[in-house]
Chain A
Amino acid sequence: MLRMEIALFLVLAFIACIYFSAGRKNTPLHKTFSLLLLTALVHLALDSVTVYTVHHLEAVPGVLNDAVHRLFLGSMVLVIYLFYQYIAILVEEETGKPRRLDRPAGIFLAVAELGNFLLPISYTVTPDGNYSSGPYMLVPYGAVAFYLLLCAGLLAVNRRQIDKKKKSVIGIALTIEFVVCILQGLKHTWLISGMGITLMTLSFYLTLENPDILRAELTEQKMSMLYLKSQVNPHFLYNTLDTIRIQAQLNGDKTVADLLMRLVDFFRLSVKVDRQMVALDDELELLEAYMDLMCSRYPDLRCVYDIDPDLGGMQVPNFILQPIVENSLLHGLKNKGYRGEVRISAQAASGQRMEILVCDTGSGFAEGKKAAIDQMLLNFSKQPAKLEGSSIGILNVQKRIKLLCDREYGLSYTENPAGGVTAHLLLPMKEDVQ
């Protein structure tokens, strides 16, 4: 029997390792679960010890045996109490109703612990194995019955407000513990209480506390926030900006009016394109609006275009140039105080392909940065989905080109002999609308 206890201890220890190594917020729910994990570990360790001592009654001094048994069942009551706490907090978070049963639960815990250490204990020896018995056994059964009833009650009263997944998890955990206790009650020699505790903890961990699930939920939340942010009615935005522009021009401020005009252009163009593929001309129009604004913010910044007009109608993935140019500005020219030039050129290449170059006179790659970026662009599909960071823009561009055109096309970087970097966008030359 000892082997099972050791195995359960190792399983839970492994889970605790994963759980504590994943950084998470300090919510009451997570705090309770951490405490639960630690107490369950102590409980399982004591479980192993008692399984040994109860089978070596002659070798182990009676006092020591009593002590570990009392500690063992004391920790079990505590674990069950923490289970109740965990479920109560979960229900509170779901329903928004404050917990009202904390006081009776706490009082019961104190009474149970007191009983555990005061009630007399005895040992029953059978051919199948030994087990502890006596009046003190009232404590664990009483505690399990009391707290399971509380949990079941909480679940029943708030069943409508609780998320389906959480409801089923709590239900399953309670059923497991209930069945295990019944079996233990019928077959005293089985000594399987530790299994019940482990399985309950495991079911909570796998469904509610799993770091991967938590991370996915966090990402989803963030995504929907971003989505909501982008839902500000664009017409409202650029109609208002237009009104401001006219007011500025009426006040005689032509410079401000012109800047606002370009800003409105930029917004209008960026909300207009809902297609996956757009004409190169459309892309360049958006880029021009962006660069005009940047150049007026930084007067020493210049932008030169050298576009073969025959390529204007070619279909390219939407929104690929602006992120590249923005990257050149933020990581190249910014370090030079925005003094320099961005040259955007597009020319036909061999085999029905074309190449768009974004060449800047910025600071170039930092030591080792080029290799890191090359590696990232090469293994674009293995990169985790990121929501921010400096490389999100170019990674996104790479992913979309590979997806919408073909694997042979894509983005790469080279270093200019005279300083700065050049982004190479290799794209197919196709003009059809579809």
Chain B
Amino acid sequence: MKKLRVLLVDDEIMIREGFKRLFDWEAHDCAVVSEAADGMEALAQIDTLRPDIVIMDINIPIMNGLKVIQLSRIKHPGTAFVIVSGYDDFSYCREALRLQITDYILKPVNYEEFGACIDNLKISLFERRVAAAAPEKQEERTISGITKFLQAHLAEEISLSVLAEQFHLNPQYISQLFKSEIGVNFLAYLTNIRMEKAKKLLLSTSLSITEIAQQCGYGDYRVFTKVFKKTEGSTPSQYRRDFLEDTGAAAR
């Protein structure tokens, strides 16, 4: 997998420096190619550099981050936008989601946890590639077989050895496959799709947290809550309530 090219947009130099130097881009197969301090600069940089990932602050001079995304979206549909904002406000979040951003993280940024965000981003890029490719070609590829199998067996105990047995492959090889095809390790991928399923269930069903945890392959809901909190920044019940409250407010 080729290195992902990253553009940092924030009007505060310290925030950009922090991102550049405190997060291990190398380990995540990424490279920061440029920086921008305002909306116009960001727009120009996106056009000329065509980065894979744009880390974007909302509250920046001249043109706000959401506007930049809106304008760049059409020209560069393949670019992933990650919003980093101090505005702990769901209205921004809602607008950002409408622009189909890849992720929304809040300042202060915990650089250790930022890795999970990059992993999620890679997974969604992978899924976009899969969706874009011709279906008959997909069938032949091992990785798509494995991801399909994972989706179907999320509630069960899955490990590399289970996959190895199922697909008659070496566990080491499967691990390598994840790294090369998607760019993340197996466990990060599994956690990601489990959390995606959990979010879907939290918002679309009224199942209890314990039941959702079970359906997503967590026998112990305490572990589930902990993992959910770490990746989503809120506990499952908070997540569900925030959504309900927000849609309730929008309906009013």
Contact = CB atoms under 8 A, between A and B. Distances in A.
A259 to B, nearest CB: 12
Interface string A339-370: 00000000000000000000000000000000
B201 to A, nearest CB: 15
Contact of A433 (B14, B221, B244): B244
Given A268-B88, A309-B225, A310-B210, A281 B15 contact: no
Contacts of B208: 310
Interface stretch (B16-24, B150-158, B181-189): B16-24
Contacts of B209: 309-310, 312-313
A265 B238 contact: no
A209 interface: no
A239 B235 contact: no
B35 to A, nearest CB: 15
Contacts of B86: 235, 238-239, 242
A169 interface: no
Nearest to B21: A250
Nearest to A265: B108
A264 interface: yes
A243 B86 CA distance: 12
Contact of B14 (A247, A279, A282): A247
A245 B19 CA distance: 12
Interface in B189-244: 208-210, 221-222, 225, 234-238, 240-241, 244
A279 B225 contact: no
Q: Identify whether the interface residues of B are mostly helix, strand, loop, or mixed.
A: helix
Contacts of B234: 281
B108 A261 contact: yes
Size bin of chain B's contact surface:
20 to 34
A155 B12 CA distance: 57
Given A312-B237, A433-B244, A246 B17 contact: yes
A238 B108 CA distance: 8
Given A309-B221, A312-B237, A433-B241, A245 B248 contact: no
Interface string A226-262: 0000000001001101110111011000000000110
Interface residues of A, number: 25
Given A246-B15, A279-B238, A281-B235, A264 B244 contact: no
Contacts of B136: none
Interface in A380-421: none
Contacts of A265: 108
Contacts of B240: 313
Contacts of B15: 242-243, 246
B110 interface: yes
List 10 A-B pairs, minimum CB-CB distance, nearest first. A313-B237, A246-B18, A281-B235, A242-B108, A264-B108, A243-B14, A312-B237, A246-B14, A281-B238, A309-B225
Interface of B: 12, 14-15, 17-18, 21-22, 86-88, 106-108, 110-111, 208-210, 221-222, 225, 234-238, 240-241, 244-245, 248
